[in-house]
Chains A and B, each alone.
Chain A
Amino acid sequence: MDGITLNLFALQLFTGLALGSVFVLLAVGLSLIFGLLTVVNFAHGAFYMVGAYVGVFVLGLTGNFWFTLAAVPVVVGSMGVVVERYLVRPLYGRGIDYPLLLTFGLGMALVEVVRIVYGLEGVPFDTPKELRGAVDLGFGFFPLYRLFLIGITTVLVMVLWLFIEKTSYGLVIRAGARDPEIVRVLGIDISKVWLIVFAIGTGVAGLAGVLSAPMRSVIPDMGSTVLVEAFVVTVVGGMGSLVGAVVAGLLVGVVVSMTSLFWPSLTDLSMFALMAAVLLVRPQGLFGKKGLMG
């Protein structure tokens, strides 16, 4: 471990936070959808992948990265609306395994459709001009794009937090996650709220996809690794907890990044070791509620 300076350590910490930002974006949606709809969304990775490809398409059409960034969550979120309304909704009340199997199949179908359209080969996605290069953080140079990723995730999480804590919709979301029946008894059509939450969750997954596109290769299979990572983060943070998704996302990012610095051969294993350790001590996850599944 010779030659690891404090500066290198700090840089690796930032790399971990950037990696963790993508995890946060994925886990927030996965966790919200599970917390409110009790749907274990196995298509989440596919929505992430579709986000990247929609990004490729829109960027090719307009040449404007910022427009693409705004358009992708809207397009993928709209897909989420259709999926919730016509595929997932008929399965409510039939147990947790029905929507799980449905989204699992849907995920595979989406991957195949993208394969048919774009082929197996990766599609390039350039880092936008404005975000190329590196910035001096005082302890070393850090890629500007990754800094941007940390920034946009921070803003998005704050907006989501304000939405959930301070608006009427957010109140219904919080109440509906605990007791959907009383929400209906009090005259609120909770299915509308479920639809919105599913759309937000999938839209944010799509956004994570397009944001990752300049860093990871855009291939039809890109969602499957990410899905596993997102589930690890969600389980570590606690299913259904927004705070848990944020904390666990950053934690997993930093743990993976630090492991790759100190014990590179254990990098892939590190997040699973973390998950196992957390589950041994707190089976409900860091911020999860006990007995959520039953």
Chain B
Amino acid sequence: MLKIENLNAWYDRSHIIQGVSLHVNKGEIVSIIGRNGAGKTTTLRSVMGLIDKRKGSVCFNGGDDMLMEPTHTRFRHGLAFVPEDRRIVAGLTVRENLRLGLLASDKKNQENEVIERISVTFPRLKERLDQVAETMSGGEQQMLAVARALARDVKLLILDEPYEGLAPVIVHEIERILMEIRKLGITTIIVEQNAVAALQLADKALILDMGKIAFRGTAKEVLEDKELRHEYLAI
């Protein structure tokens, strides 16, 4: 479903991502893990076209290479991205944040139907539609960020650090939501510092180190290999 081939990315002259390749199949959950500064976020941002200097190829759903296309085209293909820090737009209500996720879709005029659908998975958001979104708790904001990304028909959901700064009980709640999303047939890529939590959900795991792939295998293999975890994840 997603084929990343030989991805390279630079910040100014620093070569941050050096030849990362990854194939993701439909319905899978893939975890990209690694230490701080390993290049996890930069990999995602390059795929999304948010890093100016990037090379390689990214094909989605059998389409042509989209790596050099502008960022906004990806959402229209069904590729949704929830960046680090949730990026809830300050000053907008929950409803307006959700509407923002709908504007580029053909469901633009079916706001109420979409909100009904979303509130099955995210009941808390429905109660808070007219609240200014930034006044909600971190967990609720994270749910809103995921819900906003899912407002249109999404085939692949990419999450950057979805558990960051959240209490364990909220992490469990988000995990439950991600399992529900999986049942809908949506493929997911999760980048996480909290490697154990990310691996418990995942089928496949990719460990990045210094901008290169250090390990590629199943999530179970990483969870069971003490040495691997010690060397690349410090856990």
On A, residues with C-beta under 8 Å from B are 93, 168, 171-172, 174-175, 178-179, 181-190
Contact = CB atoms under 8 A, between A and B. Distances in A.
B234 interface: no
Interface of B: 48, 50, 52, 70-76, 81, 83, 87, 89-92, 96, 99-101, 103-105, 108, 148-149, 152
Given A171-B103, A183-B100, A187-B75, A178 B70 contact: no
Given A171-B96, A179-B87, A184 B103 contact: no
A186 B101 contact: yes
B100 A172 contact: yes
Contacts of B71: 181, 184-185
Given A171-B100, A171-B103, A175-B100, A185 B89 contact: no
A178 B90 contact: yes
A179 B101 CA distance: 14
B87 A182 contact: yes
B152 A184 contact: no
B103 A188 contact: yes
A185 B83 contact: yes
Contacts of B48: 185
B76 A187 contact: yes
B104 A188 contact: yes
A186 B70 contact: no
13 contacts: A168-B103, A172-B100, A174-B91, A175-B100, A179-B89, A181-B50, A183-B100, A184-B70, A185-B72, A185-B74, A186-B72, A188-B104, A189-B72
Closest 9 interchain pairs by CB?
A187-B75, A187-B104, A184-B71, A182-B87, A175-B89, A184-B72, A189-B72, A185-B81, A187-B72
Given A187-B72, A189-B72, A174 B87 contact: no
Contacts of B104: 186-188
A182 to B, nearest CB: 4
Given A185-B81, A187-B152, A189-B70, A172 B103 contact: yes
**Best-surrounded residue of B48, B81, B91, B100 (most CB of chain A within 10 A):** B100
B87 A181 contact: yes
Contact of B100 (A181, A186, A189): A186
A144 B20 CA distance: 70
A237 B99 CA distance: 29
Contact of A181 (B83, B103, B105, B152): B83
B108 to A, nearest CB: 7
A287 to B, nearest CB: 12
Contact of A187 (B50, B87, B99, B103): B103
Nearest to A182: B87
Given A168-B108, A188-B104, A182 B74 contact: no
A171 B99 contact: yes
**Best-surrounded residue of A168, A172, A187 (most CB of chain B within 10 A):** A187
Nearest to A176: B89
Nearest to A183: B100
Contacts of A171: 92, 96, 99-100, 103
A178 B71 CA distance: 18
Contacts of A184: 50, 70-72
Contacts of A188: 72, 100, 103-104
Contacts of B83: 181-182, 185
A174 B132 CA distance: 14
A174 B103 contact: no
Contact of B75 (A175, A179, A185, A190): A185
Contact of A174 (B73, B92, B105, B149): B92
Contacts of B52: 93
